[in-house]
Amino acid sequence: MFEQKQTSDSKDSLKREDDTLKSALRSVIAGWGVLLRQPRIPAMTDLSNDAGLWATRALGASAGAAVSLVYLLPKSRREAASRFFTGLACGTIFGGPTGIWIAERLALADRLSASEVVLSGSAAASLCAWWGLGILSRIAGRYGARGR
């Protein structure tokens, strides 16, 4: 009688474990289904070191710096050169992450190619760096002259 009760308890225990495993497996499968339906967002590894993407980064960074010239004109050639090369460097370096961030925020990641993501990110990073440096230069010039 004791053995019969023990086997009955072990069968119930095995059934509960089996139901728990089935439930866990269903939730994992459902989770994978949700992940598989979401659009693919480009990763930094997608933005490899090939020459085409480097040229795209440089083109985007140059375009961002050139557009910035229209909006905030430099006072001297030295200021123009420093701001342009700063924009070029920032656009080239931070173009990939900025492009991915923009594509994620605008929900365009599944519609853009890697070169489009890099081009837009480089232009945006260059534009922001150029504007930031220009504004800081003007503020420093205005308040630095007062202290003298």
In the chain, what are the domain boundaries? 1-38, 44-146
Q: What is the pLDDT of residue 47?
A: 55
Within 8 A by CB and 6+ apart from 86, the residues are 129, 130, 133
DSSP 108: -
Locate 20 and state its tokens.
């728990």
Nearest CA among 36, 65, 41 for reference residue 117 = 41
Nearest by Cα to 121 from 135, 101, 141: 101
Helix extents (H) in the chain: 2-37, 51-71, 77-105, 114-146
CA distance 118 to 47: 8
CA angle 118, 119, 123 (to 5 degrees): 115
Q: Give me the average pLDDT of each 10-residue run along the chain (148 residues).
A: 56 71 62 48 59 84 82 81 86 90 89 88 87 78 70
Tell me, yes or no, if the pTM score tops 0.85: no
How far, in Å, are 25, 82, 109, 148 from residue 106 at the CA level? 34, 31, 8, 47
Site of tokens 């089996």? 18
What does the pLDDT read at residue 122? 92
Say which DSSP state 45 is in: G
